[in-house]
Amino acid sequence: MALDDLALEQQEWLAICENRAPLTWDLWGAGIARSVVLSPLGRQVSLHLFDKTRAFLGEEWIEKSRPHGTPFLEMLGYSPFNDLPYIHIQRGTALAYIAMLADAPGIEAVQERLRHDPRQWNAALLELETAALAMRHGWVPTCSVRSSRRRSVDVVVRHGVASFAIESTEMHLTLHHRRMSQYFDWMSEVEMALQLRHGLKLVGKIGQEHGFRCPSEAQFLAWRQALAEPVAAILSDGRRRPIIGPQGEAMYLERRTASDEPQPLLERAAIRNDLSSRLIRTLERKASQTHGLPRAWIRLNDVGGLWYFTPWSQLPLSGQLETMATLVRSSLAPHAHVQGVIISDVKVIGGSEEIVNGQQGLVALRRPLSHEPSTRRTLLITRSDPDETALSEMRALYEWYETEPTWLTWACQHMGLAPPAQWFAEEG
């Protein structure tokens, strides 16, 4: 990409960060066309999946999603100039779920829900992920199936005469911690604007666990405008400046250097809370939602800190499985139709492969993800008195998640596209 084109793209992103222009699909996808790590085949596949998703969600969706966390910017590591292989794999996997399920029964309901409310993106992606993993092993998914007159379940999968429902959900942070997360997102946009307009960076730790109070948009805007004075000073003499953040945080404003990565440099305060009671409430709510179905599993993805900020998170994988099984099984006891629970964490950098086979009906996996420096933990837990069918269902689920690292390769081959191994230019 010519330097003039890159500079123009940077100015377009700056206008978005400063709320002077809307986010467009063309700009979001520009990183694919200008990538230097993608091979010609990698760009071709990535653009194909990008076009499929754009058509599925509609032209207005990308800007409509911005006030709700900008999920597609999260895919880029909060910097549109992250040109790293794992960023392209992460994006490609999410877009491939949509491409693979474009003709699945019931997908229109998912599409309508997403177009109406972009906040549903993470929940819908979890549904699509489950259905897509099942497809690889010959299961036929149907999305948004009615479980009663007023309720529907996310996915029902069938394989011959076998079938069961999967109701997916995310366990989120409390309102207090969601406001902290919103604050972090605001600060990330300030970081990007400082980088693009002035070549500056903020260094420090933002947010605080105790006494945190999210500023209003007007208060935050006033603080942002007040940055003009220290910015002008550092551009004049090059000296770093201490500044006070919107929450009273001590940080520094200084010039970026050639060694700085495009990722944000601000450190976010840890979010800590005990989530066991909220886990129980989440499981019971989803168990009630699936009443009316003969057999169901609950798929829970934790984004609220369970795996990181609780005493349970410090246990080895085997201890996490045993402790969680006690909690889950007591919650499922009143709900005879729920056969078990699938619990996973978000992808994390690092970690080694591990599989734990516990007592009957218990399995834990930590699997490295293909072409990513990440692992993902998944727990499979049946009810305390599983029948043979439940154990058979768990074996199928184990197969889905055990082969998750190579799902994208299979999906690309199924769609007649180049596999991820051919996506990247050879070095040297």
- Contact between 371 and 403 (Cβ < 8 Å): no
Same domain? 165 vs 277: yes
User: 304 with 395, same domain?
Assistant: yes
Asked if residue 51 belongs to a domain, the reply is yes
Interatomic CA distance for residues 423 and 42, integer angstroms: 4
Which residue among 74, 100, 126 closes a domain? 100
Q: What is the DSSP string of 8-25?
A: HHHHHHHHHHTTSS---H
Helices 175-198/228-237 angle, 10° precision: 40
Q: Does residue 378 sit in the same domain as residue 397?
A: yes
Q: Do the domain assignments include residue 392?
A: yes
In 3D space, the residue among 254, 253, 303 whose CA is nearest the CA of residue 282 turns out to be: 303
Asked if residue 106 belongs to a domain, the reply is: no
Same-domain status, 316 and 253? no
Total structural domains in the chain? 3
Query: Tens digit of pLDDT per residue, the chain (428 long)?
Result: 455 777 888 888 888 878 888 889 998 888 898 899 999 999 999 999 999 999 999 999 988 887 655 566 666 666 777 888 888 998 899 999 999 999 999 999 999 999 999 888 888 999 999 999 999 999 999 998 876 666 788 999 999 999 999 999 887 666 666 677 677 777 888 888 888 888 888 888 776 655 667 778 888 889 988 999 999 999 999 899 999 888 888 888 888 776 665 545 566 555 445 556 778 888 888 988 888 888 999 999 887 777 776 778 788 999 999 999 998 999 899 999 999 999 998 777 677 889 999 888 999 999 887 767 788 899 999 999 999 999 999 999 999 999 999 999 999 999 999 999 999 987 54
Are 308 and 408 members of one domain?
Answer: yes
Same domain assignment for residues 121 and 42: no
What is the helix (H) or strand (E) element at residue 185, kind and residue range?
A: helix 175-198
Query: Which domain-ending residue is among 222, 249, 268?
Result: 268
Q: Does 385 share its domain with 371?
A: yes
Do residue 338 and residue 222 come from a single domain? no
Residue range(s) defining the domain that contains residue 248: 175-268
The answer to whether position 107 is within a domain reads: no
Looking at the structure, tell me whether residues 206 and 251 fall in a common domain.
yes
Lookup: tokens for 370: 């293909």
CA 75 – CA 143 distance, rounded (Å)? 24
Residue 356, in any domain of the structure: yes
Same domain, 35 and 166: no
Locate 174 and state its tokens. 């409390």
Residue 203 lies in a domain: yes
Boundary-marking domain end, from 41, 65, 100: 100
SS3 for 159?
A: strand
- What are 373's two structure tokens? 């420096």
Q: Residue 322 domain-assigned? A: yes
Query: Does residue 140 sit in the same domain as residue 229?
Result: no
Same domain, 283 and 167: yes
154 found inside a domain: yes
Q: How many secondary structure helices (H) and strands (E) does the chain include?
A: 16, 13
Classified as helix, coil or strand, 308 is: coil
